[in-house]
Amino acid sequence: MEEQFEKEIHALAQQIKGLHDQAVAVYTPLVDDICSKVAPMKEVEWLLDYMFGFAGEERMLLLYKRVCRHYWQVYPEMIALHIMEYRKEYDPESLPGYKGEDVQDE
């Protein structure tokens, strides 16, 4: 029984890894394109919104950061909001006042 459970968990982990691999493959050219120009704010915002769900994975985080760095001076408020959302979701201990519990929206 435990062996079957381990096999299923391993298969699930492989599927998640495959999904992340696919996301990186799909988003890399989009990030390359958007970082080669100054895109409208909505376009940048949509891309970051779509990438957000995968930003916990290191390769996607690098792509997410690349977009944020490219547009920091162009759309500072929007980028700051996306950085804060990332920190709340994936790095809550970096927030002021963090006490070890989940950070909740106010």
The DSSP output letter for 53 is T
Q: What is the mean pLDDT of residues 4-17?
A: 90
Sign of the Cα torsion 15, 17, 20, 24 reads negative
Model confidence, pTM = 0.84
Distance CA(20)–CA(74), nearest Å, equals 29
Distance CA(61)–CA(67), nearest Å, equals 10
Q: Would you list the domain boundaries of the chain? A: 2-93
Tens of pLDDT along 13-47?
999 999 999 999 999 999 999 999 999 999 999 99
Least confident of 5-14, 41-50, 81-90, 93-102: 93-102
